[in-house]
């Protein structure tokens, strides 16, 4: 495709471009809002899962088991089903069950257990000796969490953030089901259902670039905070 | 300073009951360096972890500076632990914090102001000789430097007691000596009571004034370091000292070893010198007196607290009769003699 061809396509398709820009915005809003809220709730849940484990700092097997079951249930429901099943909850929280804001609710709820497990895994990587050393120097449990566990697990947690955001990019493609919009939705409606290969290609390329950027930024941050 | 009274620790492994510690009693004086030595699995790690209740004893009392730790509430225990420093075999430094911030951690926990922390930490880094490493991350330090940071960190909250859990076991001999030197220094300058556990005889010999031997979860023997090594009272203590002195017979000798004396063979003898042995130049004396030549194969002699002790493997070259006489003479001098066999 020569430069001229691109320019011609550009001028002839301003409406489509507008649509792509809008949907890119919607995807970004969905991914980052649900990611942000997901982490605000998922990190504490992951910490709790880790601490309540056997021989954990706040061992509580009843709590650990019940949280584990809830998290497993959350993780086993296919996202497309969760999206539809959560419609009443969504309506209760945002007042409507269609649109970008409405898609954020299932995305967030889908992300929380996912994040919790990833964070739990990251915390597991922290050598138990460090917690012991902190206990020996008279750290309270909350201080151990804030000053030892979370900072030491930070590279793993950032990695978890990266993986989650990339997964959310994928999940957000299904948001079209509830009128959430986004690039995935454009790809399905314009690209697949209207047989427009170009639109399909453009959405896919944008998604690929987005994932690349998220991954690179994540990797870079991990490198910066990892002093192990 | 530290009193360990009738401490028992039982672990349950499924249905199996493991007595990790049985009825341990120890008193460690203020300002002393006390060593607990034992082979791995003897329970010494459990013992030191009981002192700050990282491991809660099944029964018994742990009294540190007049406070019975086993009776404290969780919060009280947390605060009391700030007066008990601890260092570990694997240092346990936070990889996410620089040297400075690692040492600052106990002070942060205690809620001390930034300015005070800075002064305190810089003083501590000077004490352990790491001023130039303040902004370095632990990953870029050597083992010895890491342990120095750990010591500075343990000292930050001005503890009265320092617990050393195999603190030199991951270090090479030269570094071990420099860390022991540092421990001796802080013991003197800060009048700090140090309890250390180790499996290395060199550590106990190097800095401890008193020592306890622990085996199978039981306190086998305790006393002044010199006395202990020179006059071990119990069989286990002796065995332990001997195992640390271990002199094994070289393989080619082993192959040539005969159980009985045959033509042209000479006895291979293990001599054990203890505090009870007569302090005299017995080897040259025996050679002269009984007209034998003594070929020393290997020897591990040591001098602790005014007594010589150790093991020696030697061949007695001479007639059968003179060798017998020499052995009898050595026995009379209270040297333990064991004929291991006859070398062709």
Q: What is the pLDDT of residues B222-256, one digit of tens each?
A: 888 878 877 778 877 777 677 666 677 888 888 88
Q: What is the pLDDT of residue B196?
A: 93
Min Cα distance A66 → chain B (Å) is: 24
Is residue B278 pLDDT above 80, yes or no? Answer: no
Q: Which residues of A touch B139 (CB under 8 A)?
A: 227-228
As given in the structure block, the two tokens for residue B12 are: 């349950």
Quick one: average pLDDT of B83-109?
94
Q: How far apart are CA B105 and CA A151, in angstroms?
A: 13
pLDDT higher than 80, residue B126: yes
Quick one: closest CA in A to B158, which residue?
A137
Mean pLDDT within B159-167: 93
Select from A57, A126, A129, A137 the residue whose CB has the most chain B CBs within 10 Å, as the one to mutate to test that interface. A137
Going from the C-alpha of B194 to that of each of A119, B1, B281, the distances in angstroms are 39, 10, 38
Which of B67, B94, B156 would best serve as a mutation to test chain A binding (most A beta carbons within 10 A)?
A: B94
Give all strands of the β-sheet with B266-273 in edge-to-edge order: B257-258, B336-343, B266-273, B307-317, B293-304
Which residues from A are below 8 Å from B109, CB to CB?
134, 137-140, 143, 147
Tens of pLDDT, residues B38-93: 888 888 889 999 999 999 999 999 999 999 999 999 999 999 999 999 999 999 99
Most A-contacting residue of B95, B107, B140 (CB-CB within 10 A), to test interface:
B95
Q: What is the pLDDT averaged over residues B115-128? A: 93
Shortest distance between the Cα of A128 and any Cα of chain B, in A, equals 9
Q: What are phi and psi of B281, to 5 degrees?
A: -75, 75
Q: What was the pLDDT predicted at B238?
A: 76
How far is the C-alpha of B307 from the C-alpha of B281, rounded, in Å? 14
Chain A to chain B Cβ contacts (< 8 Å): 68
Residue A65: predicted pLDDT: 95
Contacts of A136 in chain B (CB under 8 A): 52, 54, 81, 84-86, 163
Which range in A161-165, B222-226, B302-306 is most confidently predicted, on average pLDDT? A161-165
Q: Per-residue pLDDT for A177 more than 80? A: no
Chain A positions touching B110 (Cβ under 8 A) are 138
Residue B108 forms contact with A (CB below 8 Å): yes
Tokens 């499996």, located at residue: B199
CA-based nearest residue to A75, from A38, A103, A44, A127: A38
State the Cα torsion B181-B85-B51-B75 to the nearest 10°: 180
- Of all residues in chain B, the one with the smallest CA distance to A153 is B96
Which conformational region is residue B292 in: left (phi greater than 0), alpha (psi within -120 to 50 degrees), or beta? Answer: beta
Q: What is the mean pLDDT of chain B?
A: 89
Buried b (16+ CB within 10 A) or exposed e, B142-167: ebbbbbbbbbbbbbbbebbbbbbbbb
- Split at pLDDT 50, 70, 90, the class of B311 is confident
Q: Out of B52, B79, B110, whose CB is closest to A136?
A: B52
* Yes or no, beta carbons of B94 and A132 under 8 Å apart: no
- Say if residue A2's pLDDT is above 80: no
A78 in contact with B at a CB cutoff of 8 Å? no
The first and second tokens of residue B286, run together, are: 């025996």
Query: Distance, in angstroms, between A143 CA and closest chain B CA?
Result: 7
Among A136, A15, A97, CA closest to B156: A136
Alpha-carbon gap, residue A82 to A104, rounded angstroms: 12
The predicted structure's pLDDT at residue B50: 93
Gap between the Cα atoms of B43 and B36, Å rounded: 10
Q: What is the mean pLDDT of chain A?
A: 91
pLDDT score, position B249 = 81
pLDDT computed for residue B246 by the predictor: 64
Q: Is pLDDT at A44 greater than 90 in this prediction? A: yes
Chain centroid to CA A193: 28
CB contact under 8 A, B97 and A151: yes
List CB contacts (< 8 A) between A227 and chain B: 95-96, 137-139
Closest residue to A140, CB basis, from B78, B86, B90: B78
**pLDDT grade for A1, boundaries at 50, 70 and 90:** low
Q: CB A138 to CB B105 under 8 A?
A: no
User: Looking at residue B276, what is its pLDDT?
Assistant: 75
Predicted pLDDT at B243: 65
User: Is B95–A227 a contact, with Cβ atoms under 8 angstroms apart?
Assistant: yes
Q: Which residue has the higher pLDDT, B266 or B236?
A: B266
Pairing relationship of beta strands B16-28 and B2-13 according to DSSP bridges: antiparallel
Residue B27 β-bridge partners: B3
Residue B305 has what pLDDT? 65
Nearest CA in chain A to B87: A133
Q: Does B285 touch chain A (CB under 8 A)?
A: no
Q: Do B82 and A152 touch (CB under 8 A)?
A: no
Q: Which chain B residue has the Cα nearest residue A142?
A: B109
What ipTM is given for this predicted complex? Answer: 0.84
Q: What is the pLDDT of residues A78-106, one digit of tens each?
A: 988 988 888 899 999 988 888 888 899 99
Q: Which helix (H) or strand (E) holds A49?
A: helix A14-51
Distances from the Cα of A29 to the Cαs of A168, A169, A182, B146, in angstroms? 11, 11, 9, 46
A79 vs A171: CA distance, rounded Å: 7
The Cα A117–Cα B309 span in angstroms is 59
Q: pTM for the full model?
A: 0.82
Pairing of strands B84-88, B2-13: unpaired
Q: State the Cα angle at B88 between B82 and B93, rounded to 5°.
A: 80
Query: Cβ A138–B108 below 8 Å, yes or no?
Result: no
pLDDT at A10: 81
Q: Integer distance in angstroms from the first to the last C-alpha of chain A?
A: 48
Residue A38 has pLDDT above 70, yes or no: yes
The answer to whether residue A88 neighbours chain B at the CB level (below 8 Å) is: no
Please list the alpha-helical segments (H only) found in chain B.
Answer: 44-51, 74-81, 99-109, 114-127, 143-155, 173-190, 201-207, 225-230, 235-244, 251-256, 282-290, 320-332
Q: Do B90 and A129 touch (CB under 8 A)?
A: yes
């Amino acid at each position: 495709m020569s430069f001229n061809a691109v320019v011609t396509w550009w001028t002839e398709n301003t409406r489509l471009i507008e649509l792509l820009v809008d949907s890119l915005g919607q995807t970004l809003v969905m991914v980052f809002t649900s990611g942000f809220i997901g982490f605000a709730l998922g990190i504490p849940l992951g910490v709790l899962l880790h601490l309540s484990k056997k021989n954990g700092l706040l061992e509580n097997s009843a709590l650990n088991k019940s949280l584990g079951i809830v998290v497993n249930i959350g993780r086993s429901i296919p996202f497309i089903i969760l999206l539809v099943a959560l419609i009443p909850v969504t309506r209760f929280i945002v007042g409507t069950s269609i649109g970008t804001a409405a898609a954020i609710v299932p995305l967030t709820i889908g992300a929380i257990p996912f994040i919790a497990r990833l964070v739990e895994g990251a915390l597991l990587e922290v050598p138990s000796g460090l917690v012991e050393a902190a206990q020996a120097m008279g750290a309270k449990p909350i201080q151990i969490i804030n000053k030892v566990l979370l900072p030491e697990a930070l590279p793993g947690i950032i990695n978890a953030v990266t993986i989650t955001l990339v997964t959310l990019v994928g999940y957000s493609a299904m948001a079209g089901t509830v009128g959430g919009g986004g690039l995935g939705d454009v790809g399905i409606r314009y690209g697949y259902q209207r047989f427009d290969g170009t639109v399909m290609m453009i959405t896919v390329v944008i998604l690929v670039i987005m994932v690349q950027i998220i991954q690179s930024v994540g990797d870079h941050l991990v490198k910066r905070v990892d002093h192990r | 300073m530290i009193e360990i009274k009738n401490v028992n620790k039982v672990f349950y492994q499924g249905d199996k009951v493991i007595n990790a510690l049985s009825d341990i009693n120890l008193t460690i004086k203020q300002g002393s360096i006390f060593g607990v030595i034992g082979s791995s699995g003897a329970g010494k790690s459990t013992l030191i972890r009981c002192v700050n209740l990282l491991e809660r004893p099944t029964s018994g009392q742990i009294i540190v500076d007049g406070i019975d730790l086993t009776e404290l509430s969780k919060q009280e225990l947390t605060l009391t632990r700030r007066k008990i420093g601890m260092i570990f075999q694997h240092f346990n430094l936070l990889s996410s914090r620089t040297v400075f911030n690692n040492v600052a951690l106990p002070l942060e926990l205690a809620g001390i102001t930034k300015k005070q922390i800075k002064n305190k930490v810089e003083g501590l880094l000077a004490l352990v000789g790491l001023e130039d490493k303040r902004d370095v991350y632990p990953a870029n330090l050597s083992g010895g430097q890491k342990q120095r940071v750990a010591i500075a960190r343990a000292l930050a909250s001005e503890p009265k007691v320092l617990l050393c859990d195999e603190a030199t076991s991951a270090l090479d001999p030269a570094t071990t000596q420099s860390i022991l030197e540092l421990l001796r220094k802080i013991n003197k300058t800060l009048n700090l009571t140090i309890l250390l556990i180790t499996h290395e005889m060199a550590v106990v010999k190097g800095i401890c004034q008193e020592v306890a031997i622990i085996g199978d979860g039981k306190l086998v023997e305790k006393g002044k370091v010199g006395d202990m090594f020179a006059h071990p009272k119990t069989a286990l203590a002796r065995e332990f000292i001997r195992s640390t002195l271990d002199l094994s017979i070289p393989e080619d000798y082993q192959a040539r070893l005969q159980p009985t004396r045959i033509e042209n063979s000479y006895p291979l003898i293990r001599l054990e010198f203890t505090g009870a042995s007569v302090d005299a130049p017995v080897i040259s004396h025996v050679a002269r007196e009984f007209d034998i030549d003594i070929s020393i194969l290997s020897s591990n002699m040591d001098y602790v607290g005014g007594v010589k002790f150790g093991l020696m493997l030697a061949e007695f070259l001479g007639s059968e009769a003179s060798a017998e006489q020499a052995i009898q003479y050595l026995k009379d001098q209270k040297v333990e003699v064991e004929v291991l066999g006859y070398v062709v």
